[in-house]
Amino acid sequence: MVTRRGFLGTGAAAAASGLVGVAAGAGATNASASQNLETFVAKRELSFHGEHQMGIEADLQAVTNFIALDIKPGTNKASMLRFMSLITDDIQRLTRGEPVLADPAPELAIGAARFSAYVGFGPSLFSKLGLQAMQPEGFHELPAFKVDKLQEQFSGGDVLIHVAADDPIVLAHGTRGLVRDSMPFASVRYVQSGFAHTPGMVPAGITHRNLMGQVDGTANPKFGTKDFDSVVWIDEGPTWIQGGTLLTFRRIAMQLDTWDQLGTPSKEEVIGRKLSNGAPLTGDNESDTPDLAARHPNGLTVIPDFAHIRRAAPAKDGERIFRRPFSYDAGISSSGSVDVGLLWTAYQRNMDEQFIPIQKRLDELDLLNSWTVPIGSAEFAVAGGVESGEVIAEALFS
């Protein structure tokens, strides 16, 4: 007889309960032997269990992979549940810096290094499985925007596993394990790799820079606040999405050859903030609130009418998003042009009330559009968090 889903926290653990003494003993020996080899970077762990999935309300890690998968024909709710139980166990182990079960290369599990992974589902998954009734409110394929130059190879996906870590080897090893366990159920649609600053490069909590040079992320809601909860975390609708969020994922190319022809004052006017420290053009510090009404003596607005932060600012209450962009670098052409940009993410409760109205406004006017081009696009509904013994998105596939 074959049974399902007991092994997460219960099954194997219960069966192994008698060996707690041994396991703990062995672990202690290993730990003391390797303790001085483990660095600060390797040891830092993010917590897997909780109300929300991990890797969203968290400082950027150094490296990331967005792994999009398409389910195989014949995959149904029951197989999705088996899929998610494997992935849940894998993530749990990887976040502790441990090898996944059946890891062919356990020696690569050299530390947690703030490894994180969360799972989301694209609109295509709901239609393929006939689960439209479980689709969250304000979640669907995006309308077309004038600025879009979307490529299939960077767009869509039934399932997203978004992984990140502070070390590229840890990331590659974790990615491999998660992809291996996905293969009975799905094929890889794309993996988009990105990066941010390495740990220790900028103090925790300090806003990262993107490859245009800008301090990027200033106006985000702050972690651990009610404000963050109200922008990002869903607290109604089908149970599986409660504690979850909606992700808009855009691959946005930067045209640095032409951007670099601008002088500093022009670059700053495009955004409405200073390049040196991210302060608004109407202030001195990054944390100063932009004064959108301020005018030069000549009557022109200090933060220009075409400026990105003016156009992106909320037109009404609640029209905000949480951005957690990683940079990408896909190489350099023979003529020296860099293929770089952002793996840009917006987390929100409802795309119709948050990302879409903002993007519509930017589509009409935003001078930044002259140097940025969305070339990939996808939406994923990110399931709520799990407690020990639970499977990610269990309620969606049960």
Partner 1 sequence: MRKFSILVAAVLVLAGCSAEPEVAATDLWVKSSESSLAGGMTAVYGTLTNNTSADIVLTGGKTDAAGVTEVHEMAMINGQMKMQEIDGGLTIPAGQSIELEPGGNHLMLMQLTADLLAGDEISVTFSFTGAADLLVDGIVAKPAEGGDEEYHSTEMDMDN
- Contacting positions for partner 1 (CB under 8 A): 1-7, 10-16, 18-19, 21-23, 26, 79, 81-83, 85-86, 89, 101-102, 104, 180-181, 183-185
- DSSP structure string for 209-271: B-TTS-B--TTSPPTTSHHHHHHH---SSSGGGTT-EEEEEEEEEE-HHHHTTS-HHHHHHHH
Instruction: By CB under 6 A, name the binding residues for ligand HEM.
Output: 210, 212, 214, 216-219, 250, 252, 254, 271, 273, 308-309, 312-313, 321, 341-342, 344, 355, 358-359, 362, 372
CB of 347 to ligand HEM, least distance (A): 12
Bridge partners (DSSP) listed for residue 301: 295
SS3 category, 169: helix
First to last CA, the chain: 20
Dist CA 193 CA 67 (whole Å): 9
User: Closer to partner 1 at the Cβ: 8 or 142?
Assistant: 8
**Could you tell which of partner 1, ligand HEM, none binds residue 362, using a CB distance below 5 to 8 A set by kind?**
ligand HEM
CB of 21 to ligand HEM, least distance (A): 52
Q: Which one, of 278, 282, 283, 251, lies nearest residue 267 by Cα?
A: 278
User: Closer to ligand HEM at the Cβ: 115 or 371?
Assistant: 371
**Could you tell which of ligand HEM, partner 1, none binds residue 6, using a CB distance below 5 to 8 A set by kind?**
partner 1
**Could you tell which of partner 1, ligand HEM, none binds residue 37, using a CB distance below 5 to 8 A set by kind?**
none
- Which secondary-structure segment (H or E) carries 64? strand 63-71
**Could you tell which of ligand HEM, partner 1, none binds residue 358, using a CB distance below 5 to 8 A set by kind?**
ligand HEM
**Could you tell which of ligand HEM, partner 1, none binds residue 216, using a CB distance below 5 to 8 A set by kind?**
ligand HEM
User: Closer to partner 1 at the Cβ: 87 or 234?
Assistant: 87
Neighbour tally for 18: CB within 10 Å: 9
Neighbour tally for 34: CB within 10 Å: 12
